[in-house]
Amino acid sequence: MNIGLLGCGAIGELIVEAYADGVLEDINIIMVYDQIREKAEKCASKISKSPKIADSIDELVGTPDIELIVEAASQKAVKDYALKILENGKNIMIMSVGALVDKEFYDLLAQTAKKRKRKIYIPSGAIAGVDAIKAASIGKIHEVELITRKPPSRFISDKIPGDIKIDPDMKEPIVIFKGDAKTAQNFFPRSINVAATLSLASIGPELTKVTIIADPSIEENIHEIHVKGEFGTLKTYVENLPSIKNPKTSYLAALSAIKTLKKISEYIEIGT
């Protein structure tokens, strides 16, 4: 399968490195694009049979040989380009899943994918349990909750609701958000991808509860999931090490993107 990469930051680079190491059999990265050209050049330079560097999104989307575009850029990129990608007859893998909590936009993408017979792949990212939650969603799910803990520095660029201020010298953990996944999206766009994925796999962004905690005693991004339903109860807990390339991104998220790509060309699928 011929692939075009949209976004050559932490996740994009790790995908390219896995490809260069031969992890992604039956996949060819034939074009890369980033709004910062040097980033695209850096990614391209890691591959021995150098992919073409697109000069524009239109070049990436308009290249007939590309069957799948892997988005690892930003929620804005998803909002601006995902529809165009599907309408041009290409499949898309979306990492900036937070863009999909907008139900109208999600429905539009889903309808377009159906009409054009294309697929939208959403890797499970930095959380565990999506396989079981998908199975559970065939029955009734009563309650879904995500509790995310991160070091305070990861929230520096977020606008936190209420009067809460992140003090770099804080000693005790503080809850900086409690609400639903849809509202969380307005305040914590970078932290919301996991909540978005969890909610889309279960009961939707408006019903999925989210608690976000700034915790000075940890180095990792910790995601805890609690689900109750007809199947019983599920709890998962992941302590994610940050990616060396971007401490805001969990390494597991990039590995999940790589595994999703690998799965597309595998002949045995394990898990739901």
Ligand X SMILES: NC(=O)c1ccc[n+]([C@@H]2O[C@H](COP(=O)([O-])OP(=O)(O)OC[C@H]3O[C@@H](n4cnc5c(N)ncnc54)[C@H](O)[C@@H]3O)[C@@H](O)[C@H]2O)c1
Give the residues lining the site for ligand X (CB under 6 A): 7-12, 34-36, 39, 72-77, 95-97, 125-126, 190, 193-194, 197, 246, 249-250, 253
Residues 193, 97 contacting (CB under 8 angstroms): yes
User: For residues 91 and 193, which CB has a smaller minimum distance to ligand X in the complex?
Assistant: 193
Burial of residue 165 (number of CB atoms within 10 Å: 0-12, 13-18, 19+): exposed
Query: For 267, what's the count of Cα atoms within 13 Å in the CB-facing half-sphere?
Result: 1
Closer residue to ligand X in complex, CB, 39/182? 39
- Sequence-distant (6+) residues with CB within 8 A of 94 are 71, 78, 82, 100, 120, 121, 122
CB of 82 to ligand X, least distance (A): 11
**Nearest-approach distance from CB 147 to ligand X, in angstroms:** 16
**C-beta closer to ligand X: residue 30 or 200:** 200
Nearer to ligand X, 228 or 262 (CB): 262
Residue nearer to ligand X on the CB measure, 117 or 157: 157
Clarify whether 223 is annotated catalytic.
yes
Cβ 115 to ligand X shortest distance, Å: 25
Handedness of CA 266, 268, 270, 272 (dihedral sign): positive
- Measured CA to CA, the distance from residue 168 to residue 140 in angstroms comes to 43
Catalytic residue set: 223
